[in-house]
Structure 1
Amino acid sequence: MMMLLTTSLLFWLVQAALGSYRHAPSQQPLISTPLPIDVTFMPIIVSNEPAVLNISVTLHRPNLAANASLVELYLAFGNVPCQSYNDTNPITAIDDDGSLELHISDDEEYALRRWLTARPTSGTVNISMTALPRHIDITTPIGPRVDLREIDGGLQGSGFSVVPLPPISPEIEHDLTFCWDLSHSPPNTIFASSLGEDLCHRFLDRAQAKQGMQSTVFAVGPTLHRYPPVEQSPELSQFGLFYFGDTSDIPFDVEKLADYINALFTNMNAFFDVPNSRPYRVFLRPSLRGYGGAGFLSAFMLEYYPNMNVAQWELEWLLAHEVTHNWPLMNSSPGQPTQADNTWYNEGIATYYQTLLPHRFGHTTREELVKQMNMNLQAYYTNPAIDLSNEEAAERMWTDPAAQRLPYHRGLVYFLRMGFFVTQASGGFVGIDDAVLELLEARRRGEPWDLDAWISLVGGALGDVTEAWREYNTMAVGGYLGLPPAALSYLGLRIVRIIAGVKTGSRAHDAGLRDGDVLVENKVMYWQVADDISRNMTLKLKRDGHDFELTYWPRSRETVPSLQVEEVEHGHAWSDL
């Protein structure tokens, strides 16, 4: 059975994880002064030998006391282990006074490993380690795609699982530089990361440097290829798709997929009002089972199973979702380790725009729009986890596939509802796009871009903040989200009610009602015929392009005992029917 797995938004999950750690009590102080940091990757790629990644982290004058946390690294992300760097494969450190002994301290509550100094540091500290590729087999569970893998003699992974960094205060800007050292790789080795394709990269957003390093995906190896080749299309150097080996081993059209995503990325940049197009890269990696992916900083990793064919449009749809994650996002509130308060937004708005924007830009047909919309709607309404609250779904994210998928489709239906309500309330002058773009602008201005900010924006568009909270709370606790018949009219679509389940021999069937008839209008309300036993049901229908009306008595042929009241000469009496 073919399965297209859901994806994870790693970049903002990383930030949320760091945020939850910052707001937790810490036994170790955060570094609160600017600290220049240099990170260097030196892949060791030797023929007929397993590839490994030597990593050096240089801290310029951290001035730490004894028993202070020099660097730290998460032990795992979800169900995927990070590099442990234990006694059998240790981290080593040297400063101006020579060898610096380190002691490991694990924080089980936050799955965090710290390396503590045995004495005060002196001057610059040089830290070295070797990251080893994870061994996987068919039994390896699917999880966040952050681990280091050896692929076709090369390496692919993310900074999150391999690079330990200092415990930096989020209020302090730090100068962080990342470089490649290919001195132990073959001459034809190609390298790339979501940071770019230069040998060195300096983070311009110094306040986000640590998160940026951790949210970086990278690949290096002699069989790594780029499409399009930079020398062939220098104007496309801002975009690249990277894969190992030969495209004949990949079960889809790599070039067609890359061209589609590049065009869509350019359109979305304009839609979300990005003044200067920033780079975007897609990395492919083979899997032993299934398809899926993870979003990183300005990049996406697509995992594919070579022996499983997936339609090209499914991959385009998946990547359209991930490209969207570059812009509309909601920040998690302090003390929200599960991200239940913003996952519905981040995944829901990406699902909303992955469906609508490709059609708006002319990349998909109307038929494809309707198909994708219906697939998402049925995924919500038939989800066995539909009644879970956002918090419950977040807690089951990595153990229950239905719970993992819920925020994507629940969020979509929420935005469809709010889009309709906002358009109605404003007489068509304001749409849901306006509130989404304003939240994005708030983030760019350094203003709050969390749930409270969103409710304020959408409540203002509705003219009723209380109603905005009511809509959110209904969704958040797992309440049923319906769609009024005209809910999709602002998108140029409408909900059509189709008759189904007509029983042969019923009064409706005998009157001529058939499965597939389109219900144009109810001439009589259900409660009217339910309360009045003598009243008929009248429906306006369409069949084969022709409108017609049909009337029948909406009662079963089966009789049951009932009681009625009749007027008699002295008082009242019960009458059996």
Structure 2
Amino acid sequence: MTRMTYLTLAATTALLTINVAAATQASSPIPLRIELTPKNLGMGKGTLTVSLTFARIPAQTAKSALLSLPLIDSNVDSAAPDIRDLTATDSLGQVHLLESTRDMPEISDRDSEIGGPSVVWSADRKIVGPLTVSYIVPAHATKPPRGPAPPIGLYEADRATSGAASMFLPLPLYDGKYSVTIHWAASIGSEKSTNVTSLDSGANTISTIMDRAEIYATYMMSGAIQAWTPSGADQDFRGAWQGQPNFDAAALMSWANTLHGHYKQFFNQTASQPYTVFLRYNPINAGGGVGLYHSFVETYGAEAGSDPDELKLTLAHEMFHTFSPYITDPTGLLSSWFGEGLAVFYQAALPFRFHMISADLFLHSINYSAARYYTDIFATSPNSEIPDMFWKDTRIRTLPYDRSMLYFATVDYAMRSKTHNKKSLDTLVLGMLAREKMGKSLSNSDWESLLRENLGEESVQHFRSFLAGEKPVPASAAFGACFERYTTKLRRYELGFEPAVLAEPKRVVRGLVPNSAAAEAGLHNGDIIVTPVPQDQIQGEQNTKINLDILRNGQKLKITYLPRGEFVDVYQWRKIKISR
């Protein structure tokens, strides 16, 4: 089954933020040139030289925050502390910059948030004319993992580097549009580089119109990488990978390209819009990934994350995010039930509908989520509790994915039953998308409006009960007439100690549960867990053991156990024979 995926909007490692919260949006896009020069990639000490030129700076005051880069984005440390040789000039000459740390305003984009504690550079005077900012950042600026997190940090390996703009690329804190030109200069001190971004593949210079959030969420890969392009007329899709996967990466890209074409038809997309899939190695939580601007970053490993079927489901999930509507009121993770739940539902439903996966893989996707949800001791936790606990406990973090998928299955079945299959969940999703395309910021009330219009007031109350924590139970035939629901017994996930430990920079065991599998395996309170431990996948796998690298009184130990507790009843689905 697919590894956990996190939708993020990267907040930028050399983010030049201009504090224009009170300023009005400019009438025309601000020209912004981004020039990137890789150097010595593959030697372990590679760098990126970055030069940014803003044709004009929005309204500002002397000593206002001119440059800003969040320190942490989606549980990943940015390269803000690693920036060196930072210089700035405008029409009057050198601009002296003062560095500080501030808590910058957080804004919502889709179901992620941008901002928070940031490195901020203030100018000693008002900027006059175009501003050029230059600096150097390590090509490998990835810090020790805090725990579960998307693969957005700058990562140098296999004579290449990759990362999200939020980790290293400066931008002003400006809500208007930019006319962005990204130019890759020739690499220095290393072999010839191939350069791919979320915006296109292979070109050294790319130009487009983007807003701040879209630039934040742009992914870049440069060096000795492999790039894949389709042979047909549809040239929107691109693929690129860093390193040497132990599966046929080109075949996987071809499959994803075909699915991308089906998605374009499903969502009635006629305009050309680039979409790029990136692959890179992940030694910790292989198989997971992150959806970014017009792109998806998927990770692979030596064992986990090397199954093409699992990778296909992950690709189907994240590609759906690129096309689907998003609820942005309420902000951030409070609305993740919508975007993530839909993506889990459709990651199997659409490829199965398009005859691109087998019935067995379709069932595998459904049953994995159902098993993980119905064994979750926090299954009835209200949606309002998710943001505070999302990064602290896998059992909370998976709720927007699993519980919401099951809820959408109940809605889909209700729509099909009422209309004799003339309407389905598709009708509501496309209805939300139509509102979004009209420029409306979507909220829960928009969803309720469509529910009320199609299924009546009772469906609205059902939705509100779902948000309050009520367990969704899809009908036996909810996933099709050839499948049926049955009940079986599975064991709850039980880590055996305080789950928040695994999301902390220093993982010191506390809250050890007496008589748990962890305690019986020899784990002690006060043990230091040296290596990060991904849980989201293990939580859904009944027979997968957890491996802990422990430091105790200066001695290194390995502790392995099956993180399971009591047996509980769960719903699953299976194929049935239909008589004709």
TM-score of Structure 1 vs Structure 2, range by shorter chain: 0.7 to 0.9
Q: Aligned runs of 1:120-199 on 2, under 5 Å?
A: 120-134=126-140, 141-168=147-174, 170=175, 172-182=176-186, 184=188, 186=190, 188-197=192-201, 198-199=203-204
Change (3 A) 1:5 1:214: same
* 1:460 CA drift (Å): 0.8
What is the one-letter code of the residue matched to 1:482?
V
How far 1:10 moved relative to its partner? 1.8
1: distance between equivalents of 2:422 and 2:386? 35
CA contact (8 A) 1:398 1:404 kept: yes
Amino acid at match of 1:257: L
Instruction: Go from structure 1 to structure 2 and tell me whether the alpha carbon gap of 1:48 and 1:392 turns closer, same or farther (over 3 Å shift).
Output: same
Distance 1:326 1:371, change over 3 A: same
For 2:519, the equivalent position in structure 1 comes to none
- For residues 256-281 of structure 1, give each alpha carbon's deviation from its aligned partner in whole angstroms, at most 9, with x where no partner exists: 21121111111111111111342221
Q: Please report how far the alpha carbon of residue 363 of structure 1 lies from its aligned counterpart in structure 2 after TM superposition.
A: 0.8
CA distance in 2, matches of 1:282, 1:187: 24
Shift of 1:450: 2.5
8 Å Cα contact 1:425-1:463 kept in structure 2? no
* Distance (whole Å) between structure 2 residues aligned to residue 269 and residue 185 of structure 1: 42
Contact 1:51 1:153 in 2 (8 A): no
What is the SS of the residue equivalent to 1:373?
helix
Task: Quickly say closer, same or farther: Cα 1:351–1:98, change in 2 above 3 A.
Answer: same
Q: CA deviation at 1:57?
A: 1.3
Question: In the TM superposition, what is the alpha-carbon distance from 1:144 to its structure 2 partner?
Answer: 2.3
Report matched runs for 1:266-281 at 5 Å: 266-281=261-276
Write the deviation string for residues 382-411 of structure 1: whole angstroms up to 9, x where unpaired.
123312222322322222122221111111
Matches for 1:292-441 after TM superposition, within 5 Å: 292-308=288-304, 310-333=306-329, 336=331, 338-340=332-334, 342-441=335-434
Report how far residue 417 of structure 1 moved.
0.8
State the partner residue of 1:525.
none
Q: 1:203 to 1:85 in 2, by over 3 A?
A: farther
Deviations 1:516-556 (A, max 9, x none): xxxxxxxxxxxxxxxxxxxxxxxxxxxx99xxxxxxxxxxx
* Partner residue in 1 for 2:510: none
Two-structure CA RMSD over aligned residues (Å) = 3.0
What is the CA-CA distance between 1:357 and the residue it aligns to?
0.7
1:399-436 Cα distance to aligned partner (Å, 9 max, x none): 21222211111111111111122233344432211110
- 2:226 is matched with 225
Structure 1 stretches of 5 or more lacking a match?
502-543, 546-577
Number of aligned residues: 473
Is the Cα–Cα contact under 8 Å of residues 39 and 58 in structure 1 kept in the other structure?
A: yes
**1:397–1:404: 8 Å Cα contact kept in structure 2?**
yes
Label 1:487 to 1:302 Cα distance change in 2 as closer, same or farther (>3 A). Answer: closer
Letter in 1 for 2:412: G
Deviation at 1:119, TM superposition (A): 0.7
Partner residue of 1:92 out of 75, 78, 87: 87
The equivalent residue for 2:4 is 6
- State the secondary structure of the residue aligned to 1:446: coil
Distance in 2 (alpha carbons) for counterparts of 1:99 and 1:151 = 36
Distance 2:477 2:25 in 1: 54
Q: How far is the alpha carbon of 1:30 from its aligned partner?
A: 4.4
**CA shift digits 1:89-142 (9 cap, x unpaired):** 253211121110112243236223332111111211111111224455887634
- Checking the alignment, whether the CA contact within 8 Å between 1:52 and 1:133 is kept in structure 2 is yes
Higher Cα Rg: structure 1 or 2? 1
Contact 2:327 2:338 in 1 (8 A): no
Identity %: 23
Deviation at 1:216, TM superposition (A): 0.7
Return closer, same or farther for 1:103/1:31 CA change in 2, 3 Å cut-off.
Answer: farther
Deviation, structure 1 residue 339: 2.4
* 1:427-576 paired onto structure 2 within 5 Å: 427-464=420-457, 467-488=458-479, 491-497=480-486
Tell me: CA distance 1:308–1:415, structure 2 relative to 1, closer, same or farther (3 Å): closer
CA distance in 1, matches of 2:211, 2:158: 31
Unaligned runs of 5+ in 2: 105-115, 491-575
Q: Which residue of 2 aligns with 1:216?
A: 218
Greater strand share, structure number: 2
Query: What residue in structure 1 maps to residue 51 of structure 2?
Result: 56
TM-superposition CA deviations, 1:321-375 (whole Å, max 9, x none) = 11111112323215x3x421x2011011011111111111011223332333222
Output the CA distance in 1 between the equivalents of 2:124 and 2:172. 16
Helix, strand or coil at the partner of 2:211: helix
Q: 1:383 to 1:47 in 2, by over 3 A?
A: closer
Secondary structure of the corresponding residue to residue 479 of structure 1 = coil
Secondary structure of 1:362's partner?
Answer: coil
| 1:498 positional shift | 6.1
Contact 1:426 1:462 in 2 (8 A): no
Alignment match of 1:242 (pick from 231, 236, 240): 240
Aligned match of 1:553? none
Indicate conservation of the 8 Å contact 1:92/1:127, yes or no: yes
Are 1:114 and 2:120 matched, yes or no? Answer: yes
* Counterparts of 2:72 and 2:431, CA distance in 1: 35
Counting only pairs closer than 5 Å after superposition, residues 15-54 of structure 1 correspond to structure 2 as: 29-30=22-23, 32-33=25-26, 34=28, 35-45=30-40, 48=43, 50-54=45-49
> Residues of 1 paired with 2:489 and 2:90: CA distance?
76
Letter paired with 2:281: P
C-alpha separation in 2, matches of 1:442 and 1:317:
28
Task: Classify 1:234/1:262 alpha carbon distance in 2 versus 1 (closer, same or farther; 3 Å).
Answer: closer
Deviation at 1:251, TM superposition (A): 2.5
For residue 122 of structure 2, give the secondary structure of its aligned residue in structure 1: strand
Q: How far 1:164 moved relative to its partner?
A: 1.8
Deviates more, 1:324-333 or 1:179-188: 179-188
CA distance, structure 2, for counterparts of residue 497 and residue 50 of structure 1: 56
Tell me the SS of whatever aligns to 2:49. Answer: strand
How far apart in 2 are the matches of 1:46 and 1:499? 53
Paired amino acid for 1:10: T
